[in-house]
Structure 1
């Protein structure tokens, strides 16, 4: 039985756009969203649409109308996805074999993908959504038929296209930032991020309630929101292709745009403690105390400069590199001058690798550790345990073994600590901390050559290995895909385990053709593990 249909109004449609006042094309696409809604709400599609809440169904309809608007208006959002996917994998789309495919027009396979992406992203906390569902195909076929019929008469949205265009000589980073913010929080392909960003704000506020009065928290709320949003849009790696906001803006503009390389080179936010050194003309010079890196920061990036004193003013703040200079980004605070704090920060290991200066050393240490782990664990990268407490002991035993492999005597180590030259061996923590509730759970230790030791629990039953007594073949067939989906399992560990388990077991739910996940494995690992896809060494060098 069909649901009671509620209309989609302009306020919802405009929430996918960078302006608040509607233009002529907005009325057309609002009506198109309602026509899509009639298809979505049809009882024929009950099995798939019932997975969504009412608000999510309305967003789905706007999202699909936005796709047509994007194609007709040539704003480049969808083209940015297909072009980057093609650069990575040699084809415009994952999952589907395209036969009658026309770039820059409405395509059935694109509608299929858009439906998969919407359902998968909306329901990611609840299920792994398959891209080859018959229900998805039936819904996609009807929606594509409507969009294809409207393609020739749908109006372009010049305001949206103009907003996503940039002057070739644009110098102002905040103009760039404004476009990135729209793309990441409001554009149809990324509107899911609104909720993720909101949840981050809610979590931060909950944490701050313990240390702050309600009126004080309310007063600081705008600053908190600005800082979280700023970090989210500039530094987060998003699930679709595991790229940052600046990558999406650059590819929306296209490789031929004069700003393409400059936008691609925008850095992540570099947050830390900085000491003001001097002002010269239009530049402020700040030293990152933990690394000694000096940044030339443009004056115009700071709305109201505090009273800055040379070699005395300490600030906690963030900078972003844009073109040949650095810009303030987010919030900042001036700390009381304290020579002791400056000295302590310069000797601190915290933030030592903020500008990437120690990566090569870290990789050298990891190479030595990897060889030692294989020697210690009989040539295998993984070891299984019936209790995580045992896994922790194993990891500590390996650390002792690694120390001995370096031939550093206990006396020499104690002397190094005494002199303050070395608090511990490179990359080796003094102890491992396990929560009480996980100590008795089965788990494994994996040595990741790219980052170091990893411990995980709750997955042993899925992994066929002669040294794993807890392997359960039936559970593995039903649930082993969790090893790919879980953010707790690194990309390298997932690939290692994929080689053990095989794609006869690892597949999308209901997938009959075993090759779909196999052919699109990297795409899915980017999607499932976006935050950790680009592995970084997790060791500290003293």
Structure 2
């Protein structure tokens, strides 16, 4: 069996490591949070990749983890200063060819407009390759990819396809400015090219390569200098650069009707996996595929089907995009300026659930969600279903486990579809899934915690006995067999906290960084070193709890190292903590925080 998509081919998978089957080889360099191995704690230092300021570094102890798996990971203090000289380790600057440009586009043949932008990409490449931040990209192919994305961004602005403009508009709505980090000197023109746009894009590409390793200061002079050189190039081309009419036609050429779901999926698939705007999604898909292939319980044939289902699901629900919005949410924002695409704003994606088939007619299956029966009836168009795979279905007896997408005036089934008879085993599955979806246990734990703490969001404990007293006596919880109360292995105690999204969380590391009258272990010096970890390292604390710490003013010492004074770094974090927390945690308050 061969499941084929544009640029994604899943043949009969035999080997567990098959990156080239899943992504174009030139994009293998992308790495994600899962690959980098986060650790609790951290070290701050000021160092350089030539002119590139590393504002915060996570010490990588992956080898130590393998050799001493029984030990907790810690960070050691490092102070590094790399000479401010350009000593790039790349041997040869390779030319960018049209085929690589096509991998960011939905068509297969180049024309004169594409050739023009390939030329722009090569000019950007020259400037990046010879810049003082070249070594930050680690490999020459990373510079080529960044150059292609910057050229595609320029094409987007020139062609008025509106992708970047939707981003800056949403930034302004959420954070109060067109872009984070950079005070706008003079006018900012959202429908034109701006120096700040290029600075942000360069930072984003470098920061992505450093996820789980370092937090990069967006204001470093190396990025600014390189952005100025690229801006100078593009400013000279701005008045004469051609619009890409094929991209305009692909996105907006005609009104989208209620039956055009598969055309919508084609656009969505391109946007999610190929568009310059989304540089992390292919890697996420690859990582999920690798996880499935590494699972010894999953056969290659099963993995092939599961990879297809995962890829489809991520297209609709993945949140590695900027601002942590899904790709359908971004298309809705992009399509706002085009009345004929108002359907984009009405697309909804439901989580995987279990549906009971109630009836059917020539066009639809009518089902109800067993995990939330109060939502009423859903009609699934048969145009989206492989009916032969569910030929044994019976109304009132069959369940369908699947994901549904609302488009037009109906629900469309996407990804994997499983049909089962509704029996006792399925009833138990539905009960477990319902609790998981409604976060029943998490919400109950939160209410118990708030009651036991007297309304406080956090409780600080100095010993295992204090933790036991709070959990077992004040909250009235019991311990499962063979389960012990977590031990405190540090002199800085522990902090207990709860949230309706996450349930109970016990924080052992970096408690000394949390400023509170109730925290006897608060240490300003240590907080200045490590409090930033609560913002830029999602492995330290759940997103919702990081937001609470920030909102209650309990991380006042957090700052990014800067060439300017410490107070400036603290003010920088204060102004940009909202964006940085969203960015590093892949979350946003609008969707993930009450």
TM-score range, shorter chain: 0.7 to 0.9
Residue pair 2:543, 2:585 contacting (<8 A) in 1 also: yes
In the alignment, which of 354, 362, 365 is matched to residue 284 of structure 1?
365
Q: Distance in 1 between matches of 2:487 and 2:445?
A: 27
Shift of 1:500: 4.0
Paired position in structure 2 for 1:423:
none
Q: Distance in 2 between matches of 1:224 and 1:389?
A: 46
1:447 aligns with 2:498: yes
In the alignment, which of 572, 578, 588 is matched to residue 516 of structure 1?
572
Per-residue deviation, residues 232-258 of structure 1 (Å, max 9, x unmatched): 111122352221111111122224524
Shift of 1:329: 0.8
How many residues get paired?
491
In the alignment, which of 256, 262, 269 is matched to residue 350 of structure 2?
269
Per-residue deviation, residues 129-149 of structure 1 (Å, max 9, x unmatched): 111111111111111111111
1:107 aligns with 2:194: yes
Matches within 5 A, 1:358-397: 368-369=447-448, 371-375=450-454, 380-385=456-461, 391=467, 394-397=470-473
Matches within 5 A, 1:300-315: 300-305=383-388, 306-307=390-391, 308-315=393-400
Residue pair 1:317, 1:331 contacting (<8 A) in 2 also: yes
Paired position in structure 1 for 2:583:
527
In the alignment, which of 254, 259, 263 is matched to residue 341 of structure 2?
259
Q: Distance in 1 between matches of 2:487 and 2:588?
A: 23
Q: Distance in 2 between matches of 1:435 and 1:30?
A: 61
SS at match of 1:187: coil
Indicate how the Cα distance of structure 1 residues 387 and 164 shifts in structure 2: closer, same or farther if over 3 A, else same. farther
Paired position in structure 1 for 2:8:
none
1:497 aligns with 2:549: yes
Per-residue deviation, residues 473-502 of structure 1 (Å, max 9, x unmatched): 333212211111232423442233334445
> RMSD between aligned alpha carbons?
3.1
SS at match of 1:254: helix
Paired position in structure 2 for 1:404:
none
Paired position in structure 1 for 2:382:
299
Indicate how the Cα distance of structure 1 residues 396 and 206 shifts in structure 2: closer, same or farther if over 3 A, else same. farther
Matches within 5 A, 1:349-364: 349-351=432-434, 354=437
Paired position in structure 1 for 2:281:
193
Paired position in structure 2 for 1:155:
242
Q: Distance in 1 between matches of 2:561 and 2:166?
A: 29
1:339 aligns with 2:423: yes
SS at match of 1:276: strand
Per-residue deviation, residues 142-197 of structure 1 (Å, max 9, x unmatched): 11111111112222211122112263342232222222221121110102221122
In the alignment, which of 283, 293, 314 is matched to residue 205 of structure 1?
293
Q: Distance in 2 between matches of 1:178 and 1:433?
A: 51
Residue pair 2:531, 2:555 contacting (<8 A) in 1 also: no
**Bigger Cα displacement from structure 2, 278-287 vs 262-271:** 262-271
Indicate how the Cα distance of structure 1 residues 429 and 257 shifts in structure 2: closer, same or farther if over 3 A, else same. farther
Matches within 5 A, 1:50-129: 50-98=136-184, 99-129=186-216
In the alignment, which of 471, 475, 487 is matched to residue 399 of structure 1?
475
Indicate how the Cα distance of structure 1 residues 352 and 478 shifts in structure 2: closer, same or farther if over 3 A, else same. closer
Q: Distance in 2 between matches of 1:392 and 1:240?
A: 41
Q: Distance in 2 between matches of 1:226 and 1:108?
A: 40
SS at match of 1:155: coil
SS at match of 1:205: helix
Residue pair 1:234, 1:269 contacting (<8 A) in 2 also: no
Q: Distance in 1 between matches of 2:553 and 2:303?
A: 49
SS at match of 2:208: helix
Indicate how the Cα distance of structure 1 residues 388 and 105 shifts in structure 2: closer, same or farther if over 3 A, else same. farther
1:482 aligns with 2:510: no
Indicate how the Cα distance of structure 1 residues 380 and 338 shifts in structure 2: closer, same or farther if over 3 A, else same. closer
Paired position in structure 1 for 2:413:
328
TM-score by length of 2: 0.75
